[in-house]
Each structure stands twice: as C-alpha cells, then as structure tokens.
Amino acid sequence: MSIFKKKDKEATSLKLSNKKVDFSTTSKKEAKKVEKKKEQKKENQRRFKDFFKSMIAEGKKVTWPTWKKTLVSTAIVLLVVLLFTLLILSFDLIFSQILSLVTGGKLSNPAGA
C-alpha cells in the first residue's frame, strides 16, 4: 500500500461523536442519519430527565393528608360501601319475593339444576 492511498483513505473518513464513519463505504446521507439518531437519543434522554425532575417538584407541592384524616376517610368509604351493599341486597330480596308471588312460586333456573 502506497503512502498516497493511505492518505486518501484518511481524507475520506469523518469522525462523528466518537464513531468513525468511512465515506469510502458510507454515504453522506447515512452519516447524517447516524448523527441525527444520536442527537435524537440525547434529546430523548434530556426530556426523560426533565419529566422526572418536574414530577418530583410537583410531588413536593402536594399537601398530603394526616394519618387521622386518612383513617376517617377510609372508614367513611367502607361504611358507604356497606350501606349500598345492604340496600342492593334488600332490593334483590324484595323483588325476588314479588316475582315469586307473581309466578306462583316457580322460578325457572337457567342453569337447569
């Protein structure tokens, strides 16, 4: 290999972000695509970090309830669920008795049992 061929090969290569792209085998468009992908990756990483920074900042702004308030709220929710359960159960029993009277006590069982 002569000195001239070696210099020509070095002149046709370009270093892009720690990756050497050889233009003798790679077109300029492909080199631009590689560079664009790297820039896009850096942008995505920056946006990912910014998202979590803002999420933490918003979490610090939240006024969290006290333990006592949390227990009271939980008790209220459980009580309302229990009351609605009893209400639905009572309506079911009332309507099943009415339907039993209307049909003469013979309710069909769709399961066939």
Mean pLDDT across 28-39: 86
User: What does the pLDDT look like over 51-108, one tens digit per residue?
Assistant: 999 999 999 999 989 999 999 999 999 999 999 999 999 999 999 999 989 888 776 6
The residue that leads in pLDDT, 9 or 57, is: 57
Residue 97: predicted pLDDT: 92
E-strand spans in the chain?
13-16, 19-22
Least confident of 12-26, 40-54, 99-113: 12-26
Residue 85: predicted pLDDT: 98
| Domain coordinates in residue numbering, the chain | 1-62, 64-105
Residue 32: predicted pLDDT: 85
Closest CA to 9 of 18, 29, 33, 20: 20
Residue 34's pLDDT band, with cuts at 50, 70 and 90, is confident
Residue 104: predicted pLDDT: 82
How far is residue 15's CA from residue 57's CA, in Å, rounded to a whole number? Answer: 40
